């Protein structure tokens, strides 16, 4: 069954912004999708909480509050958080998309790692956690599934979904969050979590990288929890002889059962790790580990889930040599769990000899009951004959040849190959499978692969000389988007029609890409100077140039004669397109100015007064005023108004 294609969110636009293209992983708390932010045109990972959890208001409030807190973390080894929101019943977190694999994928494929590789991975993990710890946060779910290794080699810590502020997790109320295989003893016994639970989990991860196996194992999560509480993590060199003693010391320090014995936080553990590394020789760093444990993870359940834990009255059984439900127990060890109420300490005292008779039926019921109570699965018992099943191996982003090889190695075959366009998946790589990656499938069964054709491409149509609106419609019909529009003069393309496109016609572009358009402003026209001309003459001259004329509603006083053009806009020499408009302002003539009263003044003072007011002065002396020096009369009486620059005649006697 192709669960990816049946996923209701695949192909949808979440919150009007995020286009969900495919499913990356499914956990017990959320599903992670590969999506595209249509607003910023970037690929990202979208973590969507399961609707069953989204119905819990307190859980959603905590998810949102903690997501906002983690978004404040800025570190190169922490998966960035871009956005958080809700869309109906969907609560989501938009995060940085890392193309690559998880540390779990590496351990499945390669088993134990060389010490150098293990330290190269753990150091940036501790740097990321150190930044979180110093910022006041605890991750609480450190495991290989949450360590991402990009195609460029960068290591990033993901899934801070269980993160809590340090000062709010010192005493949880009846619940423990985490993954069974990586829980610290104090998380199990008391429900307390501080920075040292991350230190403990990192110690377990280091052990797993060095040996290829987890330090504690059992047929059920209850047995693993018991070992966390009652047994020390063994030194890695016990499983891989020849490993340096310094590595044993780091693992022992980080996984000390009492938190006070561990390094205080990831920063302190990082310092200890670097000190140990400096003491190792090149041969010790490059020691080749055995690969015997590689297959141990092939069928491990790596999904994250929400698991109610047994009540306090249920005892945690010590490890056994096997029994029904073993496959289910192993599956549960890598899940993120919510355990309701702390479990008890050591197993109960032995029963009297008369009552210790072995009863297979009773033992089977007890084991099944423990698994049901711990996992909260009710009637969900796994197949005893789980050997008939396998899981679809990691295929996403692999080439067709690589995917076929992985399927062949897993004892599976290719049923069919579909090919689809994709904006986010590289051409020739696997973008989906049916059944999906990680799904249970019978051995020797077949898998359908969906191979990416890369982005769908279309040719840019020829829209030259076509009106802009029509050109936009043609681009949309071709699967392209009209882009930025700029205007330019053109001697041969009609105004409003398209001159050219970028990319040019005939070029191939990804479907949905924007095409820029250059639209004609028409033939360029240099504006002539029509100031001082009559309104009719100026209008005729401009219209002959292909321009339109508009007369301003208000006239102004100017040096131009009344009725002539006083101003024009745009002015002389400006370049307009054919059909553009020039606005003309008509003159009301010279402005009227109040005439000073100069009668009785001597001639020189009177002339200065009138000229200063903007008038020309003419003298009338007649026969009687040849030798006079006083103004007896003026042509415009003082206090009256006359046009500026007009002439005032003064009579001298």
Residue bearing tokens 């095409």: 515
Give the DSSP H/E element, type plus range, for residue 271.
Answer: helix 266-279
Selected catalytic residue, list 7, 21, 83, 141: 141
Extract the tokens encoding 361.
């039926």
Rg of the chain over all Cα atoms, to the nearest angstrom: 43
Question: What residues have CB less than 8 Å from 136, skipping those under 6 apart?
Answer: 165, 166, 167
Q: Report d(CA 161, CA 30) in Å as an integer.
A: 9
Task: Count CA atoms within 13 Å of residue 568 on its CB side.
Answer: 26
Q: Report d(CA 405, CA 408) in Å as an integer.
A: 5
Extract the tokens encoding 556.
């102004």
Residues 290/211, Cβ–Cβ less than 8 Å: no
Catalytic (active site) residue 141: yes
Residues 435/466, Cβ–Cβ less than 8 Å: no
Q: Report d(CA 555, CA 589) in Å as an integer.
A: 9
Q: Report d(CA 367, CA 381) in Å as an integer.
A: 11
Using DSSP bridges, classify how beta strands 457-459 and 100-102 pair: parallel, antiparallel or unpaired: unpaired
Tell me if the bond preceding 570 is cis, omega within 30° of 0: yes
Give the DSSP H/E element, type plus range, for residue 126.
Answer: helix 115-134
For 113, other C-beta atoms within 10 Å of its C-beta total: 21
Extract the tokens encoding 418.
């579909």
Residues 157/77, Cβ–Cβ less than 8 Å: yes
Question: What residues have CB less than 8 Å from 290, skipping those under 6 apart?
Answer: 111, 112, 212, 240
Q: Measured in Å, how far apart are the chain's first and last C-alpha atoms?
A: 122
Residue bearing tokens 């970028």: 502
Q: Report d(CA 642, CA 441) in Å as an integer.
A: 106
Residues 46/18, Cβ–Cβ less than 8 Å: yes
The catalytic residues are 141
């Amino acid at each position: 069954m192709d669960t990816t294609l049946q996923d209701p969110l695949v192909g949808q636009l979440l919150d009007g912004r995020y286009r969900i293209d495919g499913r990356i992983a499914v956990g017990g708390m959320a599903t992670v999708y590969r999506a595209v932010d249509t607003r910023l045109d970037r690929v990202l990972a979208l973590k969507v909480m399961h609707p069953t959890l989204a119905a819990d208001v307190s859980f959603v409030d905590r998810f949102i509050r903690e997501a906002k807190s983690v978004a404040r973390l800025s570190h190169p080894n922490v998966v960035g958080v871009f956005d958080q929101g809700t869309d109906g019943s969907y609560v989501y977190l938009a995060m940085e998309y890392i193309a690559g694999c998880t540390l779990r994928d590496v351990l499945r494929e390669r088993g134990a790692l060389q010490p150098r590789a293990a330290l190269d991975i753990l150091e940036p993990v501790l740097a990321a956690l150190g930044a979180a710890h110093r910022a006041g946060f605890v991750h609480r779910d450190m495991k290989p599934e949450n360590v991402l290794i990009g195609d460029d080699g960068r290591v990033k810590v993901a899934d801070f979904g269980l993160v809590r502020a340090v000062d709010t997790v010192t005493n949880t109320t009846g619940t423990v969050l985490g993954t069974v295989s990586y829980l610290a003893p104090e998380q199990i016994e008391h429900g307390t979590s501080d920075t040292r639970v991350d230190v403990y989990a990192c110690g377990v991860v280091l052990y797993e990288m060095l040996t290829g196996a987890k330090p504690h194992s059992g047929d059920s999560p209850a047995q693993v929890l018991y070992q966390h509480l009652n047994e020390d993590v063994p030194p890695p060199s016990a499983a891989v002889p020849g490993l340096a003693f310094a590595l044993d010391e780091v693992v022992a320090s980080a996984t000390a059962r009492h938190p006070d014995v561990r390094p205080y936080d990831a920063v302190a553990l990082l310092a200890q790790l670097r000190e140990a590394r400096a003491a190792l020789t090149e041969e010790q760093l490059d020691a080749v580990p055995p690969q015997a444990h590689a297959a141990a993870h092939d069928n491990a359940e790596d999904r994250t889930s929400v698991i109610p834990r047994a009540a306090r009255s249920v005892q945690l059984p010590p490890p056994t040599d096997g029994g029904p439900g073993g496959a289910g127990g192993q599956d549960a060890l890598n899940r993120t769990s919510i355990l309701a109420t702390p479990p008890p300490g050591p197993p109960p005292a032995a029963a009297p000899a008369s009552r210790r008779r072995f009863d297979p039926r009773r033992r089977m019921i007890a084991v099944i009951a423990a698994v049901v109570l711990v996992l909260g699965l009710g009637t969900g018992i796994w197949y005893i004959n789980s050997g008939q099943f396998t899981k679809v191996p990691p295929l996403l982003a692999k080439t067709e040849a690589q995917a076929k090889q992985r399927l062949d190695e897993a004892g599976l075959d290719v049923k069919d190959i579909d090919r689809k366009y994709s904006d986010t998946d590289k051409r020739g790589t696997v973008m989906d499978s049916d059944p999906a990656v990680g799904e249970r499938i019978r051995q020797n069964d077949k898998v359908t692969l969906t191979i990416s054709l890369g982005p769908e491409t279309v040719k840019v149509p020829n829209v030259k000389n076509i009106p802009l609106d029509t050109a936009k419609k043609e681009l949309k019909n071709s699967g392209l988007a009209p882009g930025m529009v700029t205007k330019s003069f053109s001697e041969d393309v009609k105004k409003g029609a398209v001159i050219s496109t970028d990319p040019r016609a005939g070029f191939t572009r990804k479907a949905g890409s924007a095409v820029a358009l250059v639209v004609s402003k028409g033939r360029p026209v240099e504006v002539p100077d029509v100031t001082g001309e009559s309104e009719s003459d100026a209008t005729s001259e401009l219209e002959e140039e292909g321009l339109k004329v508009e007369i301003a509603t208000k006239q102004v006083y100017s040096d131009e004669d009344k009725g002539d053009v006083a101003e024009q806009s745009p002015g002389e020499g400006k370049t307009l397109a054919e059909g553009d408009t020039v606005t003309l302002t008509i003159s009301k003539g010279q402005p009227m100015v109040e005439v000073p009263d100069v009668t009785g003044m001597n001639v020189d003072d009177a002339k200065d007064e009138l000229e200063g007011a903007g008038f020309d002065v003419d003298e009338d002396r007649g026969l009687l005023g040849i030798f006079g020096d006083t103004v007896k009369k003026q042509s415009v009486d003082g206090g009256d108004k006359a046009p500026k620059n007009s002439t005032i005649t003064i009579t001298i006697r």
